[in-house]
Amino acid sequence: MNRQSTPPLHHSPRDEAEETRREQLIEVTIDSLAEVGYVGTTLAEIARRAGVSPGLVSHYFDDKDGLLEAAFRSLSRSLWARVRAKLALGHTPRARVQAVIDVNLAPEEFDRRTGTAWLAFWGQVLHVRGLKRVQTGYQRRMLSNLRHDLRQMIAGDDARSLAAMIAAMIDGVWLRAALSEWQEADSASARALLTAFVEGRLKDLAQARAAVPPRRAAESVATLRVINPATGELLAEIPADGPAQVDAAVARAQQAQREWAALSGAQRGRVLQRAAQLLRERNAQLAELETRNTGKPIQETSVVDALSGAECLEYYAGLAAAIGGEHLDLGAAAFGYTRREPLGVVGGIGAWNYPLQIACWKSAPALACGNAMLFKPAELTPLTAIELEAIYREAGLPPGLFQVIQGAAPTGRLLTRHPAIRKISLTGEVGTGKAVMADAAETLKQVTLELGGKSPIIVFEDAQLDNAVSGALLGNFYSAGEVCSNGTRVFVHASVHAGFVERLRARSDALRIGDPLDPATQVGALISAEHMEKVLGYIARGRAQGARVLTGGARVTAGQLARGFFVAPTVFDGCRDEMDIVRREIFGPVMAVLKFTDEDEVVARANDTEFGLAAGVFTEDLRRAHRVIARLEAGTCWINHYNITPVELPFGGVKLSGLGRENGRAAIEHYTQLKSVYVAMRDIDAPY
């Protein structure tokens, strides 16, 4: 095995000296490749150039393949580090796409020495497995970043193909320059060419979209291909809705909403109550459908998804009759009162991790308050919302009051931009939240945004360690880590770190990954191949940046699982606050363990994030628990538990994790508007 691929675990001076020596040998290898090419670059040649024995070179790299893989990996890593640094400075999706182009075609990539080394590798990628691995890893990262940013500007299919075109053009332009010995292109003209190409494509795509008349667009928009992520099997094909369908749905909703709002809260509550009953009766089939569509284990979906949806409907069914304003005494001459009125037609847009639960969390308070809701599930998980629509109808909800709109982001935008929709409640990523808020601003819609997080769990020295480990496992591996409020930064007091980590490793190792439909399975599949690549990319970055894998750390492909997108629950120890796995939302089964020694220190580190969705504290000291919770910048907190979300408690984030709240009485405020009424009890005393 190539030792270079495993980062050193400790950093003793001796290791550092070894690392320096290894890096020197890699530099010499790059020189050699530039001067004498792939064939001439042998262990003996490197030893000669470095003035060391061939035995020493093979001590570090085993053989020639190992040496060249290490050199290729080193070039790829430093290129990707430059891309990442530039990506961090890009504040818009377009700027981040440009960052990928600029760095890949930067002057140093056109430098004869590095360029010739790259070329030597390229020539061997098809023949040497190690080189192929490095190249595939790099391409995957680049494509997934490009796709992610492009999806915020254009439709998903267009984003995928434009990302592939950009990557191909980067390679093509660079290769052309290399083969002409850097005569036919330089960095500046290569970048200008790519930039003009991207601008041109984005403009063409925008024009093509604008040119399609509404009715045709409605008929010709994409079809959603719904996949079982555990097997890759096609579950359904669903046509996406376009402008005509959305307009028609809004018109139906407007009509239905007027009569619905005229009912008493108790009458509305009875319909919700019946729908909750149907959800409970159909729990088994809904759980199976949710499992097939999301890859989550049936062990979870049969006790959480439809049942928590039913609880939510029951809660708002009970609350519906209690929604009201207040009476205000204004003295003998008058009194005032407020009315809590529905907003009208509202939109819900869901993420793919809890499709049915999200649909219930949004629709139940909306309907209880007298609104109509158009709900768009994520394009990857559109199935259970259709069942919910049928259940509402069967429970007696008049037609038009809850309608499922299918499609990807462009369909979502039809809702967020529609002038007759008065509010949008979104569950999704921070970038989507910003896009939705910007679109909603055009018509001054209200927004509730349930966005991403990178939440801390703090384990103090007096915590019950088994409980804390349970909390960390629940807060990282439930739903294969695809939970927004996950406590992915686990801060453990240094004095209990060793014991905590030992128990954590033992219990993580025992988790059963497998067929999600098997009741014994505890960890199922991730939602898509693309998402799995993203998660694996973060795991690779964690390793590269020096974190230590305690358990997991790889895709699982045993037997039938190779057909799906499974990643082993992964625990990183020895993490530092600045690592990507500690700063960025991964949304997969990846936990980062960090040590701390002092309360003030841990509070500062826990708050040092742009997110603020959730936080958890494990301690037996009552005073400390409440003191620390009060200082944490998070919308939803737990003391001695994690990730439990009873419907009675409002749920939501602060900072970039969102706006507004779902659940609890708080949601009523977000689905109603206040009308203030002044009532005169005396004649008007007019001075005119």
CB of 174 to ligand NDP, least distance (A): 31
Q: Does 489 bind ligand NDP (CB under 6 A)?
A: no
**Amino acid identity, position 672:** T
**Active site residue: 311, 450, 482, 585, which one?**
450
Stretch that binds ligand NDP, among 412-420, 516-524, 592-600, 620-628 (CB under 6 A): 412-420
CB of 493 to ligand NDP, least distance (A): 28
Quick one: 412 or 516, whose CB is closer to ligand NDP? 412
Distances (CA, A) of 580 to 209, 274, 412, 540, 575: 36, 47, 30, 10, 10
CB of 273 to ligand NDP, least distance (A): 25
Stretch that binds ligand NDP, among 182-190, 430-438, 543-551, 670-678 (CB under 6 A): 430-438
Quick one: 340 or 454, whose CB is closer to ligand NDP? 454
Q: How far apart are CA 467 and CA 640, in angstroms?
A: 7
Write b or e for each residue in 576-597: b if 16 or more Cβ atoms lie within 10 A of its Cβ, otherwise e.
Answer: eeebbbbbebbbbbbbbbbbbe
Q: Does 585 bind ligand NDP (CB under 6 A)?
A: yes
Q: Does 222 bind ligand NDP (CB under 6 A)?
A: no
DSSP annotation string for 271-282: HHHHHHHHHHHT
In the DSSP assignment, the letter for residue 277 is: H
The binder of ligand NDP chosen from 351, 397, 513, 556 (CB under 6 A): 351
Q: Does 479 bind ligand NDP (CB under 6 A)?
A: no
Q: CB atoms < 10 A from the CB of 124, how many?
A: 17
CB of 179 to ligand NDP, least distance (A): 40
- In the structure encoding, which two tokens stand for residue 653, read together? 């984030």
Quick one: 60 or 352, whose CB is closer to ligand NDP? 352
CB of 485 to ligand NDP, least distance (A): 7
In the DSSP assignment, the letter for residue 167 is: H
Q: Does 540 bind ligand NDP (CB under 6 A)?
A: no
CB of 651 to ligand NDP, least distance (A): 7
Q: Is 369 a catalytic residue?
A: no
Pairing verdict, β 456-459 and 489-493 = parallel
x/- binding map, residues 115-134, to ligand NDP, per CB under 6 A? --------------------
In the DSSP assignment, the letter for residue 463 is: S
Q: Does 238 bind ligand NDP (CB under 6 A)?
A: no
**Active site residue: 300, 484, 534, 575, which one?**
484
What is the three-class DSSP state of 421?
strand
Q: What are phi and psi of 106, to 5 degrees?
A: -70, 160
Q: CB atoms < 10 A from the CB of 219, how many?
A: 12
Q: Does 609 bind ligand NDP (CB under 6 A)?
A: no
The binder of ligand NDP chosen from 73, 376, 423, 497 (CB under 6 A): 376
Element (H, E) at 168: helix 156-179
Q: How far apart are CA 257 and CA 372, in angstroms?
A: 5
Quick one: 118 or 587, whose CB is closer to ligand NDP? 587
The binder of ligand NDP chosen from 350, 471, 516, 537 (CB under 6 A): 350
Write b or e for each residue in 399-426: b if 16 or more Cβ atoms lie within 10 A of its Cβ, otherwise e.
Answer: ebbbbbbbbbbbbbbbbbbbeebbbbbb
Mention every residue, 6+ apart, whose C-beta is less than 8 A from residue 348.
358, 359, 362, 363, 366, 373, 374, 375, 376, 424, 425, 426
Stretch that binds ligand NDP, among 345-353, 463-471, 619-627, 679-687 (CB under 6 A): 345-353
Residue with the shortest CB distance to ligand NDP: 412
Q: Is 442 a catalytic residue?
A: no
What is the three-class DSSP state of 165?
helix
Q: Is 312 a catalytic residue?
A: no
CB of 19 to ligand NDP, least distance (A): 36
Quick one: 172 or 419, whose CB is closer to ligand NDP? 419
Stretch that binds ligand NDP, among 283-291, 446-454, 601-609, 616-624 (CB under 6 A): 446-454
Q: Does 567 bind ligand NDP (CB under 6 A)?
A: no
Stretch that binds ligand NDP, among 69-77, 254-262, 348-356, 494-502 (CB under 6 A): 348-356
Quick one: 428 or 537, whose CB is closer to ligand NDP? 428
Q: How far apart are CA 296 and CA 291, in angstroms?
A: 5
The binder of ligand NDP chosen from 278, 613, 667, 668 (CB under 6 A): 613
The binder of ligand NDP chosen from 173, 391, 436, 647 (CB under 6 A): 436
The binder of ligand NDP chosen from 75, 134, 217, 349 (CB under 6 A): 349
What is the three-class DSSP state of 419?
coil
**Amino acid identity, position 494:** A
Quick one: 223 or 495, whose CB is closer to ligand NDP? 223
Say if residues 523 and 516 touch (Cβ distance below 8 Å).
no
Q: How far apart are CA 294 and CA 287, in angstroms?
A: 10
Stretch that binds ligand NDP, among 17-25, 116-124, 271-279, 350-358 (CB under 6 A): 350-358
**Active site residue: 64, 86, 296, 362, which one?**
362
Q: What's the distance, Cα to Cα, between the start and end of the chain in Å?
A: 97
> Exposure of 338 by Cβ count < 10 A (0-12 exposed, 13-18 middle, 19+ buried)?
middle
CB of 149 to ligand NDP, least distance (A): 12
CB of 240 to ligand NDP, least distance (A): 9
Q: Does 371 bind ligand NDP (CB under 6 A)?
A: no
CB of 660 to ligand NDP, least distance (A): 10
**Amino acid identity, position 173:** V
Residues 275-334 interacting with ligand NDP (rule: CB under 6 A): none
Quick one: 376 or 418, whose CB is closer to ligand NDP? 376
Distances (CA, A) of 375 to 17, 151, 231, 293, 355: 59, 21, 28, 18, 11
Q: Does 412 bind ligand NDP (CB under 6 A)?
A: yes
Quick one: 547 or 613, whose CB is closer to ligand NDP? 613
Selection from 91, 196, 104, 199 nearest residue 154 by Cα: 199
- In the structure encoding, which two tokens stand for residue 523, read together? 């960890």
Quick one: 87 or 119, whose CB is closer to ligand NDP? 87
The binder of ligand NDP chosen from 408, 582, 592, 593 (CB under 6 A): 408
Say if residues 449 and 436 touch (Cβ distance below 8 Å).
yes
CB of 294 to ligand NDP, least distance (A): 11
Pairing verdict, β 372-376 and 570-573 = unpaired
The binder of ligand NDP chosen from 432, 448, 479, 672 (CB under 6 A): 432
CB of 159 to ligand NDP, least distance (A): 10
Selection from 442, 406, 352 nearest residue 242 by Cα: 406
Q: Is 132 a catalytic residue?
A: no
> ∠ CA(381), CA(362), CA(156), 5° rounding?
35
Q: How far apart are CA 78 and CA 96, in angstroms?
A: 18
Say if residues 353 and 481 touch (Cβ distance below 8 Å).
no
Residues 140-199 interacting with ligand NDP (rule: CB under 6 A): 156
- In the structure encoding, which two tokens stand for residue 463, read together? 């915590």
- In the structure encoding, which two tokens stand for residue 31, read together? 């020189």
Active site residue ranges: 362, 450, 484, 662
Which residues in this chain contact ligand NDP in the complex, by CB under 6 A? 156, 349-353, 376, 378-379, 408-409, 412-413, 416, 426-429, 432, 435-436, 450-453, 484, 585, 587, 613, 653, 658
